[in-house]
Amino acid sequence: MANPDPQVNPQITDAITQTNVKVVGESPWEALGVAYQALAHSTSLSMENAMQTQGGMQQVGNSATSVICTMLLKVEPKSP
């Protein structure tokens, strides 16, 4: 605790000291909470990117299927 000063009420210095201890005691948990939020956000972004990639590949597959079906329909059978 700080040096007693006759002009400062000891209850005030005690309240400030307790507040400082509370803030210092809570800071690791707040930092851990921020780290968990960042991890959750980056995980959700990677899942979103994977979903977008899967949707894009589905469009490529649909286009390829359409082109192949068109090519198959244009083939004329050989006459014997």
Give the pLDDT confidence of 29-67 residue by residue, as tens digits. Answer: 888 999 999 999 999 999 999 999 999 999 999 999 999
Q: What is the average pLDDT score of the chain?
A: 86
pTM of model > 0.85: no
More confident residue, 19 or 3: 19
Q: Which residue has the tokens 């960042």?
A: 38
Phi, psi of 75 (to 5 degrees): -75, 130
Of 6-10, 13-17, 34-38, least confident by mean pLDDT is 6-10
Taking only Cα atoms into account, the Rg of the chain, rounded to an integer number of angstroms, comes to 34
Residue 6: helix, strand or coil by DSSP?
A: coil
According to DSSP H, which parts of 1-80 are helical? 10-74
DSSP label at residue 7: T
